[in-house]
Amino acid sequence: MKHSSFLFLACILAGFALNSMPPVTFLSGLVPFFNIVGAIAILIFSFALLYYGVKALLGKS
């Protein structure tokens, strides 16, 4: 569990990195796609961390 929480945090940071990626000339057409993928990654892994946190708080680990 401990290792997966660090992996989830790394995935959330990767989502933020995708959202704040500056447009590069040859990737400028894909910037909206990267923003959508980054937002989805942030949401999914944030909810996963919240789920595991509540589960650990209630003692159902």
Whole-angstrom distance, CA of residue 44 vs CA of residue 13? 12
Structural domain total, the chain: 1
Q: Domain range spanning residue 50?
A: 2-57
**Is residue 19 within 8 Å of residue 41, measured between CB atoms?**
no
Give the C-alpha distances (Å, rounded to integers) separating 37 from 8, 11, 21, 27: 15, 11, 12, 15
Give me the tens of pLDDT residue by residue for the chain, a chain 61 residues long: 566 788 888 999 999 988 888 878 788 888 889 899 999 999 999 999 999 888 888 986 5
Whole-angstrom distance, CA of residue 28 vs CA of residue 18? 13
When computed from its CA atoms, the radius of gyration of the chain, rounded to whole angstroms, is 15
